[in-house]
Chain A
Amino acid sequence: MEWKSTAEVVIVGGGIIGVSTAYYLAKQGVKDIVLVEKGTICGGSTGRCGAGIRAQWGTEMNCRLGIAALDIFEQLDQELGMSVGLNQGGYLLVAYNEKELETLRNGMLLQNSLGIQSRMVTLTEAREICPGLAAEDAVGFFFHGRDGHADPFLTTFAYLEAAKRLGVTCYRNTACTGVIVRDNTVQGIETTNGKISAPIVINCAGAYAQIVARMAGIELPNWAERHEIMITEPVAPGVCPCMLMSFSGNYYIQQRPHGSIICGMSPQGHPEDFENKTTWQFIEAMSKTLVKLLPRTKGIRIARQWSGLYDMTPDAQPVIGETDVKNFYHSTGYSGHGFMLAPVAGKILAQHITGQKPDIDFSMLDYRRFSRGEHIRESNVV
C-alpha cells in the first residue's frame, strides 16, 4: 500500500474507538483520514472484551452515552451494511447487600429520569429472565431489556469496511513513535513506517493512550488494568440469556447467541505491565462463581481463557476532547466500556471536530477535570 505522508486527520489506534471515529469523520465529509494501528485491527482490547452494551449506569454522563450508543447499535446493521451481531437479552444486575441495593436503586432512578426503562425485579422475575439462576443470597435485582451485547470483531470490521468505502486509509503494523508538536500545535506523527503530517491528530490508543499522550507532553492519569475472561464451548441456548452482572459479587456472565458462555471478573493484584497473561487462579475462581450462580453450568467445558487491558481513569469515565496541545484530541480512558460507548463516542467527537453541535455535550469529559478535582467516580463497574 502506498504511503501517505500527509493527511487531514490522523487517528492513532485500530480498535473500536479509532475505527468508529474514522467512520463518523468520513461520514461528516472529512477527506484524507489515515488510521494507524501498531498491530492488527481489533487485535488489542476491543478484540478481548466481553462486548456487553448497557445503559444501566451510575453517573448521568455514562447513562447519556450508554443510551445514545444503544440507539445507534439498534440501527448499526443498516448503517454499516454488515451484521454486527447485536443481541438484546438485557442486563440483570444483582445486589448482595443493602448498601449496594441503595446504590443500584439510585442508579435506576437516575436512569429513569433520562428515559432509560430500567426496573427493579423480584427473584421470581429474575428467574424468568435467567432460568436456573440460584442467587438465593441476593437482596435485589435490576433489569433493562434493551441492554445486551454485540460481536466486537464484526462491529469493528463493519466500521472499518464502511470507513474504507468512504476513503479512509488504514495502515496496520504501523506504530506511532512520536507526536510532532510545534508552537503548542500538533503537526502530525512519526511512525515505524514513516512520518505523516496532519493538522489534526486523535489519540485512540486505548490502554496505550497514556504513552501516546506523553509523546506530545500531555500527562493523562490513565492506567492499564489487566482483566481476565474465559469462554465455554457452545451449548444449547437459555443457559444465561441476559448479561448477569454484579459489582460486589464481582462477575459478569452471558451466553452469546452462538452458544458459548463468556464470563469474567475483576483482577486481583495484576501489575501494570501491559501483558495479556492468564492465570489458573482466575478460571478456578470463575468456575466456583458459575457453579454457585448457575449450577447447571458444571458440565459445560471451558474452551479458552485470555485477558485484556482496561484503559482506566480515576472516575471510570472516558477522556474525550482536545488537549493543551492544539488540535491534538483524545478519545480514551473508557475504563472497560469502550466497546459499548464507541458508536456515540466516535459520532460526538466527529461532530465536534467538524464544527457541529455534538448530540451530547461532552465538555465535562475534558481530561483536566482530574487536576481540578471535579470528577465523581462511576459506581457501576466490574
Chain B
Amino acid sequence: MSVTPENNEKVYVCRCEEVTLEEIDEWIDRGYDTVEELKRVLRVGMGPCQGRGCQDILMREIAKKTGKPISEVAPATVRPPVKPIKIGLLAEGGEE
C-alpha cells in the first residue's frame, strides 16, 4: 500500500503538530529511524493527542523504510495524563 500521493499534495501524518510524511521520510533517510528520535526532531506525536492519531502510521512508515518487521519498531514512552486535563481542575484538588 502506498500512501504517497501522485499529485504533490502534502500528507499530514501528525495533525496536532502538522508533520508531513515527506518530513518523516527525509529524517528516516538521515538515520533517525526510531519513534523516539523522530518525535524529538519533528515533534511528531507530541501534540495534545499524544500520538494517538499518528503513532501507528509512523511505526508503519519506519518498518516500511527500514525493512524491519513492525513488531521490532518500538513505540514511544506513554506519558501521563492519559488525556489533557485542565490546570484549574488539578489546582483545586486535594487539601491544602
Contacts and interface: CB of A to CB of B under 8 A. Distances in A.
Contacts of B91: 284, 287-288, 290-291, 298
B81 interface: yes
B93 interface: yes
B94 interface: yes
Nearest to A153: B40
Given A278-B79, A306-B79, A300 B40 contact: no
A291 B40 contact: no
A154 B34 contact: no
Given A154-B41, A306-B79, A291 B36 contact: no
Nearest to A173: B34
B86 A304 contact: no
Given A278-B79, A284-B93, A284-B94, A301 B41 contact: no
Contacts of A291: 87-88, 91
A153 B41 contact: yes
A159 B50 CA distance: 27
Contact of A303 (B30, B34, B50, B93): B50
B61 interface: no
A278 B34 contact: no
A42 B46 CA distance: 16
Contact of B86 (A41, A280, A299): A299
A305 B84 contact: no
Interface in B69-96: 77, 79-81, 84-88, 90-91, 93-94
Interface in B28-82: 30, 32, 34, 36-37, 40-41, 43, 46-48, 50, 77, 79-81
Contact of B41 (A157, A290, A298, A303): A157
Q: Which bracket fits the contact residues of A?
A: 20 to 34
A354 interface: no
Contacts, number: 83
A301 B84 contact: yes
A298 to B, nearest CB: 3
Contacts of A297: 87-88
B84 A302 contact: yes
Interface in A146-181: 153-154, 157, 161
B79 A301 contact: no
A40 B36 contact: yes
A306 B86 CA distance: 17
Interface string A252-290: 000000100000000000000000001010011001101
A305 B90 CA distance: 13
A43 B36 contact: yes
A287 B90 contact: yes
A298 B30 CA distance: 41
Given A234-B48, A304-B79, 9 more contacts: A40-B36, A161-B30, A233-B84, A234-B47, A283-B80, A291-B87, A298-B86, A300-B86, A305-B81
Interface of B: 30, 32, 34, 36-37, 40-41, 43, 46-48, 50, 77, 79-81, 84-88, 90-91, 93-94
14 contacts: A40-B34, A232-B87, A283-B90, A287-B90, A290-B91, A291-B88, A297-B87, A297-B88, A301-B84, A301-B86, A302-B90, A303-B48, A304-B46, A305-B79
